[in-house]
Amino acid sequence: MKNYPDFSNYGYQINRELGHNRAGGRVTYLATEINTQKPVVIKQFQFATRGAVWSEYQAYEQEINLLKRLNFPNIPRYLDSFQTGAGFCMVQEYKKAPSLATKKELHPQQIKQIAISVLEILKYLQKQIPPIIHRDLKPENILVDRQMNVTLVDFGFARIGGGEVAVSSVVKGTLGFMPPEQMFNRELTFASDLYSLGATLICLLTNTNSLEVGKLIDETGSLKFRSKLPHLSEEFLNWLEKMVAPRYQDRFSSAEVALDALIPINILPITEANKLLQNSWLRAGVMAGVMAGVVALLVPLTMQLFFRKPNFQTELIVATDVTTLANVDTVKMNQGMVYFLVKLSEIPENNQNYRGTCQLFDGVGALVAVGQSTLKNTSGKIEAWCGYDFSKSSDRSGIWRFKFFVNDKQILERELTVSSSL
């Protein structure tokens, strides 16, 4: 039996320890709120503990004050705080998800989607009055669940202020993820968190442990990664290089600008074999795996369509060859890629841009593939490509679902039966 502190008088029962910083006197627990039986996270600052430092208490106090201001679904909500004989405690909403520090074999498209989600969070923080800079963005502080929901945690080092924000006399952050201006105790800007996100993405894409990110930094202090990512598109590598430029003036000026630049980029290059996939988001798929033998994808005749306007026309083609685009009912997955071509027609000709999103859910309802792209209405028509590659070893047979959204409105859903039989 673990010797956990007793918080029952405050309405909480500790279940287990999630993490600790003994040197700083901070411990994080997963607990249950006794009245509601809901899981919560309790961060305890043990002021009397040997090794506890004043800066950790200041971080605790600052995090409480900051979280009270925030209301965003991808940031755990502040719930409560209380003082004990051993120190102070803060209670937060619990997000059941591992950190990116534990994620393995993420596909580049998944990593792009994570980047989009984190940029949306940073965009929200930067639009606060005054704006907020996180200052400790790294894989350990980004949680991602099986449905690719992203959560940003640990605001103990966050800074509140407008425009350029002067740091304190103590450098705070994590080596390898701090931009040069933060390491040298200079003024911070919105571009500072962008550097940290870029370093995080490079770790994920190169499968580099966050503790070894320093191995990617050369003698000039620049992150070098291009040679390790030859399979990614030049456009995306240029975007990533701009994110981690040593001079903040050479980075994107804000999360919003970086996000707008990223969304239309194909993270994988357009090859001769798939030139038609100009709007492809899942072109190489998210590797959910392959059964022993050949996996078959059976396409039923029933399809549910949801339109904003009844005169919209929709067509979905499932094909194994982007040249012939022969619509198939059965796909032998040893053929490699399966392509989903969504065609929308009879749309008002206003040259408006749309945001398209495709999602693929496996047989137990887990989101295994997702992607976004900017779509252009040309002559009243929109075409969007998605693709999935069953080439690894963890796919689940059963009823899969493909969904397509335009500007966050679902307009198409189709069930797919995935079978391990020949």
Taking the C-alpha atoms of residue 90 and residue 111, their distance in angstroms, rounded to an integer, is 31
Pairing of strands 12-21, 26-33: antiparallel
Q: Which of 305, 367, 290, 380 minimizes the C-alpha distance to 336?
A: 290
Name the segment(s) of the chain with CATH classification 1.10.510.10: 100-262
Is 361 in a helix, a strand, or coil? strand
Closest CA to 275 of 286, 267, 283, 287: 283
* The pLDDT of residue 81: 92
> Cα(397)–Cα(364) distance, rounded to whole angstroms?
9
Specify the pLDDT at position 421: 57
For 388, counting Cβ atoms within 10 Å of its Cβ (0-12 exposed, 13-18 middle, 19+ buried), the class is: buried
Buried-exposed string 77-98: b where 16+ CB fall within 10 A, e elsewhere: ebbebeebeebbbbbbbbbebe
Q: Using CA atoms, how far apart are residues 405 and 307, in angstroms rounded to an integer?
A: 10
Non-local CB neighbours of 177 within 8 Å, separated by 6+ positions:
136, 137, 138, 195, 196, 199, 200, 210, 213
Among the listed residues 118, 307, 305, 308, the one whose alpha carbon sits nearest the alpha carbon of residue 197:
118
The CATH code of domain 272-419 reads 2.60.40.3880
pLDDT at 7: 93
First-to-last alpha carbon distance for the chain, in angstroms, is 51
Give the CATH number of domain 8-93.
3.30.200.20
Residue span(s) of the chain under CATH 2.60.40.3880 come to 272-419
Q: Which two tokens stand for residue 60?
A: 């605790």
Please, are residues 303 and 413 in contact by the beta-carbon 8 Å criterion?
A: yes
At 104 the three-state DSSP class reads coil
DSSP state of 215: G
For the 100-262 domain, the top CATH level (class) is mainly alpha
For residue 298, the cross-strand partners are 330, 417
Report helix, strand or coil for 317.
strand
Asked if 174 and 114 count as a contact pair (C-beta separation under 8 A), the reply is no
Neighbours of 273 (CB within 10 A): 12
The rounded distance, in Å, linking the Cα atoms of 336 and 320 is 8
Alpha carbon 95 to chain centroid, angstroms: 14
pLDDT of residue 61: 76
At residue 298, the pLDDT reads 32
Largest CA-CA distance found in the chain, in angstroms, rounded? 73
Cβ neighbours of residue 413 closer than 8 Å, sequence gap 6 or more:
303, 304, 305, 306, 401, 402, 403, 404
What are the per-10-residue average pLDDT scores of the chain (422 residues)? 84 91 74 96 75 59 84 92 86 93 80 91 92 91 86 84 44 69 76 94 91 82 89 94 93 94 81 39 32 28 35 76 73 68 76 76 76 70 77 65 81 78 52
Contact call for residues 4 and 17 (beta carbons, < 8 A): yes
Ranges for all domains in the chain classified under CATH 3.30.200.20 = 8-93
Distance of CA 372 to the CA centre of its chain: 13
From the list 4, 92, 94, the residue with the least C-alpha distance to 46 is: 4
Q: How many CA atoms lie within 13 A of 87 on its CB side?
A: 25
Q: How far is CA 319 from CA 293, 316, 333, in A?
A: 21, 10, 11
